[in-house]
Amino acid sequence: MKEGPDIAYIAALIGDPARANMLTALMNGKALTATELAAEAGVTLQTASSHLAKLQDGGLLRLRRQGRHKYFSLADSGVAAVLESLMGLAAGAGHLRTRTGPKDLALRTARVCYNHLAGDMGVQVFESLMDRKYLEFRGDELCLSPAGAAFVADFGVDLDGLARIRSPLCRECLDWSARRSHLAGKLGRALLSRFAGLGWARVDKKTRIVHFSPEGEKGFRAMFPVPRTAPID
Amino acid sequence: MKEGPDIAYIAALIGDPARANMLTALMNGKALTATELAAEAGVTLQTASSHLAKLQDGGLLRLRRQGRHKYFSLADSGVAAVLESLMGLAAGAGHLRTRTGPKDLALRTARVCYNHLAGDMGVQVFESLMDRKYLEFRGDELCLSPAGAAFVADFGVDLDGLARIRSPLCRECLDWSARRSHLAGKLGRALLSRFAGLGWARVDKKTRIVHFSPEGEKGFRAMFPVPRTAPID
DNA sequence: CAAATGCTTCGATTAAGGTCGAACTATGAA
DNA sequence: TTCATAGTTCGACCTTAATCGAAGCATTTG
């Protein structure tokens, strides 16, 4: 019999409530210190220290030292993808930790997932781009078409700059609130930062909610219209 | 303070080595019995039973009862997606375990399941009858249509005799080699016995293999042609 | 009917690991 | 230097749950 596969090891790491809280807190893409993460998880500092060491050993966290601080962040977007899909499963099975509230609605509408836009508006970006054939699948890979490249360049995204970073340009990420995909990868990140740069939206780092201004919402609707016919799920 | 889905609960379910083994064994889409899953996980049957109950409570597994067997399969593609992304994270060694079902090709082709025909040829009977609307679902129940009754009567099955026995005439039975359904119930039993009566096939009681004669195979293909388009699973 | 098979429940044991108090190290500031 | 802050290590407690033997159901077979 094979030894316990690594999948159990990783899942067990996420499976502790305190660690799961820490990881969820890091889903906004920002790095947090050990003390901050201890507060997020609701445990003492020494307990948090032990958890963080385990998460780092498991390769789920990346560490940056700055003076006497230790800043932790998710190791990569793959970790974020796992967390996001886990949220989808848990939400679908009805395992919500708290009742739904107004904050929940805002989270469902627009939130930060790692470093890109998620929620209904994130899904809308993805589907709008897919509908116009700006994004397309080539085999398993999600690609930006020439027309799509022109579109995002015109929108103000520096594609040449992105090309220098060696990680996937476009990636699909499963949304836990809507059960559709939204756009992740370098392009997803660039689009969110462009929304911020245009003054369309600002990110509440605490709650992960993305607040759109009235003008921002208007511009967003113009640039990313919903497809006429809703795609079959 | 905490909002969002309870990912720790789901992750902890996957985080136990025995359960992770079971889930990975189900990744090929086939349904397995509790006993088979116990062997996959390397635990005793009673331990497996406890694990399976937990996985089912967590909404990760779907159950189909089949006589005294319980066939478990992944609840939906979302579960598979989580498992796959977890495997991606556990980057190291690509543990791709391909556990096959029946060891013998003959068993996979045609065998006795209780008292009716199973294996590829059993599936073929079922799908051929469904395709011609000889069998149809009314709600959850599988029924023989009037045209179907005429067909099987013409084939030499004594339907009046079957009507006297008080058990379902048609039943769906999950095939353990193909993941499709084949025909069980009184009609399934009657068809197999008709095959034997016609000299088309004989049953090896020891191995459960059903051996078709060349003429039998020819007649079988004529009576139960494969549907032109394979049904989507 | 009795025997066999597939699975569940009960109970006791045992191992793992999450938790925090207290003491310790390391960095930075006055 | 001394003090303060950030984080780690140690040790002890304690909850959780994984495990299997044995007995109990449920279904099918003969």
B184-224: pLDDT as tens digits: 778 888 898 899 888 898 876 555 678 888 788 888 988 99
Task: Please tell me the distance in Å from A11's CA to the nearest CA on chain B.
Answer: 4
Is there a contact between A174 and B20 if contact means CB atoms under 8 Å apart? no
| Backbone angles phi and psi of B19, in degrees to 5 | -70, -40
Q: What is the pLDDT of residue B92?
A: 41
Q: Mean pLDDT per segment of 10 residues, for chain A of length 233 residues?
A: 62 94 87 88 90 92 82 87 88 54 61 81 89 82 89 91 77 64 85 90 76 83 75 36
**Which of A95-109, A211-225, B9-23, B149-163 has the highest mean predicted lDDT (pLDDT)?**
B9-23
ipTM higher than threshold 0.85: no
- Closest of A114, A93, A92 to residue A193, by C-alpha: A114
Is there a contact between B89 and A179 if contact means CB atoms under 8 Å apart? no
How far does the CA of A67 sit from the C1' of C30, in Å? Answer: 18
How far does the CA of A176 sit from the C1' of C16, in Å? Answer: 32
* Rounded CA separation B81/B77 (Å): 6
Is there a contact between A97 and B17 if contact means CB atoms under 8 Å apart? no
Q: What is the CATH number of domain A6-75?
A: 1.10.10.10
In which residue ranges of chain B is CATH 1.10.10.10 found?
7-89
The correct CATH number of B7-89 out of 1.10.10.10, 3.30.428.10, 1.10.645.10, 3.20.20.30 is 1.10.10.10
Closest alpha carbon within chain B to A108: B4
From chain A, the residues in CB contact with B78 under 8 A are: 85, 88-89, 92, 174, 179
- Closest of B14, B12, B46 to residue B27, by C-alpha: B14
Q: What is the pLDDT of residue B188?
A: 86
* Rounded CA separation A46/A24 (Å): 20
Rg over alpha carbons for chain B, rounded to the nearest Å, is 21
In which residue ranges of chain A is CATH 1.10.10.10 found?
6-75
| Backbone angles phi and psi of A136, in degrees to 5 | -150, 155
